[in-house]
Amino acid sequence: MDQQTLAAVLQFLKNNKLKDAEAALRREAKLPDGSGDSGGSSRVATSGEVSSVLSAYESEGDLARYCEYYSSLSSFIESSLDAHKHELGCLLYPVFIHMYLQLVYNRHEKEAQKFFNRFSVEQEDWHQEDLRTLSTVKTREQMEVNDLMDTFRSSKFVLRMSRDSYQSLRRYLKQNEHRELLSILQDHLFIDVFDGVPRNREQVQATSGAMMGEARRDANKVKVLYGLPKEPDINVPLDDDDEGGDGEDKPKKKKQKKDLLLNKNKKADPNAPPPSRIPLPELKDADKLEKVLSWKEGLKRVPLGRENLPSICFYTLANAYQNVSAVGISEDSSLLAAGFEDSNVRVWSLSPQRLRTMRGASELDQLDKEADDIVERMMDEKTAADSWLLHGHTGPVYSTSFSPDREQLLTSSEDGTVRLWSLHTYSNLVVYKGHNYPVWDVQFSPTGYYFVSAGHDRVARLWGTDQFQPIRMFVGHYSDVTCVQYHPNSNYVATGSSDRTVRLWDVLNGNCVRVMTGHKAAVHTLAWSPDGRYLASAGVDKNVLLWDIAYGRLLAEMKGHTDPVYSLCFSREGSLLASGGIDNTVKVWDVQKVFEEIAGSDDLTSLDRASLVEVGSLLLGSFPTKATPVLKLHFSHRNLLLGCGRYQHN
Amino acid sequence: MQNMNDSHAPPPSQQSADATSAAGTSAAASGERKFAQIPKESVRAHAESIGISEVPDDVAAMVAEDACYRLREVMQASCQFMRHAKRKRLTAEDFNRALRWSNVEPMYGHNSPDPMVFRPTKDAELYFYEDREINLTEFAMETILPRNPGETTVKAQWLVVEGRDKGAGSSPALSEELVQYYDQVTRAILGGNEQLIKTALADLRTNSRISALLPYFVYLVGEVKSISHDLEALTRLLQTAQALIQNPHLYLGPYLKQLVASVMYCILEPLAASINPLNDHWALRDYAARLLAQICRSGCMSVEGLQKQLLLALQKVLVDPARPLCSHYGAVVGLTALGSKAVEDVLYPQLGTYWPFLQSWMEDRTISNAQAKADAHRVQGALLSAAELLLKTYQQNGSEPHAESSHESSPNQSPQQPEASEFTIGTFGQLLESGGTAGSNSGSHRRDKGPVPITQMYADLYSFFGDSLAVRVGNGAPFVPAKEEESDQDAEPIVEAGSSAFPAVERADLPPMLSFAGNGQPMDLSSVPSTSDTTHTTGRRTSKRRQSSKESPKSKRARRAPSMSDIFSLSRASQRRRDIVVNIRGGRQVGKKKTKPGALLGAELSRLCRRVPFMGKRKKVKTLPGKVLQPSMGMLI
Find the helix or strand (DSSP H, E) in which A339 lies.
Answer: strand A335-340
Please report, in angstroms and rounded to a whole number, the separation of the first and last CA atoms in chain B: 56
Q: Verify that B256 and B128 share a domain, yes or no.
A: no
Residue A320 has pLDDT above 60, yes or no: yes
Q: Which residues contact A164 (CB under 8 A, 6 or more apart)?
A: A83, A84, A198
Nearest Cβ partner for B170 among A308, A316, A321? A316
A626 with B149: Cβ contact below 8 A: no
Residue B528 lies in a domain: yes
pLDDT of residue A618: 84
Task: Dump the DSSP string for A93-106.
Answer: HHHHHHHHHHHHHT
Which parts of B50-168 fold into alpha helices (H)?
A: 57-84, 92-101, 136-141
pLDDT in tens, B414-450: 333 333 333 333 334 333 333 333 333 443 344 444 5
Residue A53 has pLDDT above 60, yes or no: no
- Residue pair A520/A209 in contact (Cβ under 8 Å)? The answer is yes
Kindly tell me the sign of the dihedral angle through the C-alpha atoms of A613, A616, A618, A619.
positive
Q: What part of A 168-227 touches B (C-beta under 8 Å)?
A: none
Q: Verify that A348 and A421 share a domain, yes or no.
A: yes
pLDDT of residue B634: 31
Higher pLDDT, A3 or A191: A191
Q: Verify that B391 and B527 share a domain, yes or no.
A: yes
Task: Please give the Cα distance from B598 to B603 (Å, whole number).
Answer: 9
- Cα A131 off chain centre by: 23
B chain contacts of residue A480, beta-carbon cutoff 8 Å: 80
Q: What part of B 90-149 touches A (C-beta under 8 Å)?
A: 93, 97, 101, 149
Higher pLDDT, B389 or A611: B389
Higher pLDDT, A202 or B451: A202
pLDDT of residue B405: 37
Residue B386 has pLDDT above 80, yes or no: yes
Task: Please give the Cα distance from A339 to A417 (Å, whole number).
Answer: 14
Nearest Cβ partner for B170 among A309, A564, A627? A627
Count of beta carbons in the 10 Å neighbourhood of residue B391:
21
pLDDT of residue B452: 65
Residue B469 has pLDDT above 90, yes or no: no
Residue A592 lies in a domain: no
Q: What part of B 45-74 touches A (C-beta under 8 Å)?
A: 65-66, 69, 72-73
3-state SS assignment for residue A115:
helix
Decide which of A541, A570, A599 is a domain's last residue: A570
Amino acid of residue B612 = V
B31 with A117: Cβ contact below 8 A: yes
Starting from the edge strand earliest in sequence, which strands make up the sheet with A534-539, in order? A523-528, A534-539, A544-548, A553-558
pLDDT of residue B329: 87
**From A387, which residue of chain B is nearest by alpha-carbon distance?**
B153
**From A121, which residue of chain B is nearest by alpha-carbon distance?**
B31
pLDDT in tens, A512-564: 999 999 999 999 999 999 999 999 999 999 999 999 998 888 888 898 899 99
- Domain CATH for A131: 1.25.40.500
Q: Which of A179, A175, A161, A11 is nearest to A89 (CA)?
A: A161
Residue A68 lies in a domain: yes
Residue B25 lies in a domain: yes
A346 close to B (CB below 8 A): yes
Phi then psi for residue B163, to 5 deg, are 80, 0
Q: Which of A148, A128, A53, A149 is nearest to A479 (CA)?
A: A148
User: How far is residue A10 from each of residues A33, A53, A476, measured CA to CA in Å?
Assistant: 11, 13, 21
B33 close to A (CB below 8 A): yes
Task: Please give the Cα distance from B204 to B207 (Å, whole number).
Answer: 6
Look up the domain containing B490 and give its range. 252-595
Residue B583 has pLDDT above 60, yes or no: no
Q: Verify that A82 and A131 share a domain, yes or no.
A: yes
The domain tally of chain B equals 2
**Which of B80, B83, B171 to mutate to probe the A interface, most A CBs <10 Å?**
B83
Q: Verify that A177 and A93 share a domain, yes or no.
A: yes
| Averaged pLDDT, A112-138 | 82
Residue A307 lies in a domain: no
Count of beta carbons in the 10 Å neighbourhood of residue B15:
20
Task: Please give the Cα distance from B257 to B260 (Å, whole number).
Answer: 5
B88 with A563: Cβ contact below 8 A: yes
Q: What is the mean pLDDT of chain B?
A: 64
- Residue pair B325/B333 in contact (Cβ under 8 Å)? The answer is no
Q: Which residues contact B248 (CB under 8 A, 6 or more apart)?
A: none
Radius of gyration of chain B (CA): 38
Decide which of A531, A553, A570 is a domain's last residue: A570
Q: Annotate A533-570 with three-state secondary structure.
A: CEEEEEECCCCEEEEECCCCEEEEEECCCCCCEEEEEE
A chain contacts of residue B154, beta-carbon cutoff 8 Å: 315-318, 336, 348, 350, 387, 644
Range with the lowest mean pLDDT among A46-55, A97-106, A130-139, A612-621?
Answer: A46-55
User: How far is residue A430 from each of residues A447, B225, B505, measured CA to CA in Å?
Assistant: 19, 69, 90
Q: Which of B229, B274, B283 is nearest to B489 (CA)?
A: B283
Higher pLDDT, B3 or A131: A131
Residue A637 lies in a domain: no
Q: Verify that A195 and A239 share a domain, yes or no.
A: no
Decide which of B132, B154, B189 is a domain's last residue: B132
pLDDT of residue B388: 82
pLDDT in tens, B504-522: 333 333 333 333 333 434 4
Residue B233 lies in a domain: no
Residue A336 lies in a domain: yes
Task: Dump the DSSP string for B481-502.
Answer: -GGG-----SSS-S--TT--S-
Count of beta carbons in the 10 Å neighbourhood of residue A274:
9
Task: Give the count of Cβ contacts less than 8 A between chain A and B.
Answer: 163
Task: Please give the Cα distance from A409 to A390 (Å, whole number).
Answer: 10
Higher pLDDT, B210 or B26: B210
Nearest Cβ partner for A325 among B30, B84, B152? B84
Task: Please give the Cα distance from B43 to B60 (Å, whole number).
Answer: 6
Q: Verify that B381 and B509 share a domain, yes or no.
A: yes
Residue B82 lies in a domain: yes
Nearest Cβ partner for A348 among B73, B154, B162? B154
Count of beta carbons in the 10 Å neighbourhood of residue A398:
27
Task: Determine the distance in angstroms separating the CA of A107 from the nearest CA of chain B, rounded to an integer.
Answer: 14
Higher pLDDT, B337 or B579: B337
Which of the four pLDDT bands, split at 50, 70 and 90, describes residue A380? confident
Task: Determine the distance in angstroms separating the CA of B98 from the nearest CA of chain A, rounded to an integer.
Answer: 11
Q: Which of B35, B33, B79, B31 is nearest to A123 (CA)?
A: B31
ipTM: 0.84
Q: Verify that A532 and A474 share a domain, yes or no.
A: yes
**From A310, which residue of chain B is nearest by alpha-carbon distance?**
B162
Task: Please give the Cα distance from A534 to A593 (Å, whole number).
Answer: 13
A308 with B162: Cβ contact below 8 A: yes
The domain tally of chain A equals 4
Q: Verify that A380 and A514 share a domain, yes or no.
A: yes
Starting from the edge strand earliest in sequence, which strands make up the sheet with A472-475, in order? A439-444, A450-455, A459-464, A472-475
Decide which of A550, A570, A590 is a domain's last residue: A570
Q: Verify that A147 and A181 share a domain, yes or no.
A: yes
B chain contacts of residue A396, beta-carbon cutoff 8 Å: 81, 84-85
β-strands A577-581, A585-589: how paired?
A: antiparallel
Q: Verify that A34 and A64 share a domain, yes or no.
A: no
Q: Verify that A158 and A249 share a domain, yes or no.
A: no
Radius of gyration of chain A (CA): 28
β-strands A439-444, A512-517: how paired?
A: unpaired
B169 with A131: Cβ contact below 8 A: no
Task: Determine the distance in angstroms separating the CA of A421 from the nearest CA of chain B, rounded to an integer.
Answer: 20
Look up the domain containing A141 and give its range. 58-214
3-state SS assignment for residue B185:
helix
Higher pLDDT, A612 or A502: A502
Task: Dump the DSSP string for B279-306.
Answer: S-HHHHHHHHHHHHHHHHHHT-S-TTHH
Could you give the count of Cα atoms lying within 13 Å of B409 in the half-sphere of its Cβ?
19
Higher pLDDT, A168 or A376: A168
Q: Which of A351, A342, A345 is nearest to A384 (CA)?
A: A351
Residue A618 lies in a domain: no
pLDDT in tens, B390-420: 888 877 765 544 444 333 333 343 333 333 3
Q: Which residues contact A464 (CB under 8 A, 6 or more apart)?
A: A449, A450, A471
pLDDT of residue A415: 92
Q: Verify that A414 and A557 share a domain, yes or no.
A: yes
Q: What part of B 151-210 touches A (C-beta under 8 Å)?
A: 151-163, 165, 168-172, 175, 208-209
Q: Verify that B259 and B115 share a domain, yes or no.
A: no
User: How far is residue B69 from each of residues A142, B16, B203, measured CA to CA in Å?
Assistant: 8, 13, 53
**From A303, which residue of chain B is nearest by alpha-carbon distance?**
B162
Residue B605 lies in a domain: no
- Residue pair A422/A405 in contact (Cβ under 8 Å)? The answer is no
Which of the four pLDDT bands, split at 50, 70 and 90, describes residue B543? very low
Q: What part of A 397-416 touches B (C-beta under 8 Å)?
A: 398, 414
Task: Please give the Cα distance from A374 to B61 (Å, whole number).
Answer: 74
pLDDT of residue A483: 95
Q: Verify that A463 and A425 share a domain, yes or no.
A: yes
A438 with B208: Cβ contact below 8 A: no
Could you give the count of Cα atoms lying within 13 Å of B315 in the half-sphere of its Cβ?
22
Highest mean predicted confidence (pLDDT) among A90-99, A366-375, B24-33, B416-425: A90-99
Which of the four pLDDT bands, split at 50, 70 and 90, describes residue A472? very high
Count of beta carbons in the 10 Å neighbourhood of residue A145:
14
pLDDT in tens, B604-636: 434 443 343 333 333 333 333 333 333 333 333
pLDDT in tens, B237-253: 888 888 888 887 777 77
**From A320, which residue of chain B is nearest by alpha-carbon distance?**
B152
Q: Which of B509, B504, B510, B511 is nearest to B531 (CA)?
A: B504
Which parts of B483-551 fold into alpha helices (H)?
A: 503-517, 531-534, 538-550
Q: Which residues contact A372 (CB under 8 A, 6 or more apart)?
A: none
Task: Please give the Cα distance from A499 to A520 (Å, whole number).
Answer: 9
A22 close to B (CB below 8 A): no
Q: What is the mean pLDDT of chain A?
A: 83
Higher pLDDT, B387 or A505: A505
pLDDT of residue B143: 63
CA angle A130, A132, A134 (to 5 degrees): 70
Task: Please give the Cα distance from A108 to A99 (Å, whole number).
Answer: 11
- Residue pair A568/A525 in contact (Cβ under 8 Å)? The answer is yes
Range with the lowest mean pLDDT among A252-256, B81-85, B132-136?
Answer: A252-256
- Residue pair B206/B225 in contact (Cβ under 8 Å)? The answer is no
Residue A629 lies in a domain: no
Give me the torsion for CA of B122, B124, B129, B130, rounded to 10°: -30
Q: Which of B243, B230, B271 is nearest to B611 (CA)?
A: B230
Residue B477 lies in a domain: yes
pLDDT of residue B34: 60
- Domain CATH for B67: 1.10.20.10
pLDDT in tens, B22-69: 333 333 333 445 666 788 888 888 888 888 888 888 888 888 888 888
**From A626, which residue of chain B is nearest by alpha-carbon distance?**
B168
pLDDT of residue B470: 66
Percent of chain B surpassing pLDDT 70: 54
**Which of B20, B170, B249 to mutate to probe the A interface, most A CBs <10 Å?**
B170
Residue A173 lies in a domain: yes
B83 with A135: Cβ contact below 8 A: no
Q: What part of A 53-112 touches B (C-beta under 8 Å)?
A: none
Residue B615 lies in a domain: no
- Residue pair A331/A649 in contact (Cβ under 8 Å)? The answer is no
Nearest Cβ partner for B97 among A128, A316, A414? A414
A442 close to B (CB below 8 A): no
Highest mean predicted confidence (pLDDT) among A317-326, B482-491, B569-578: A317-326
Q: Verify that A493 and A515 share a domain, yes or no.
A: yes
A317 with B160: Cβ contact below 8 A: no
0.80 exceeded by pTM: no
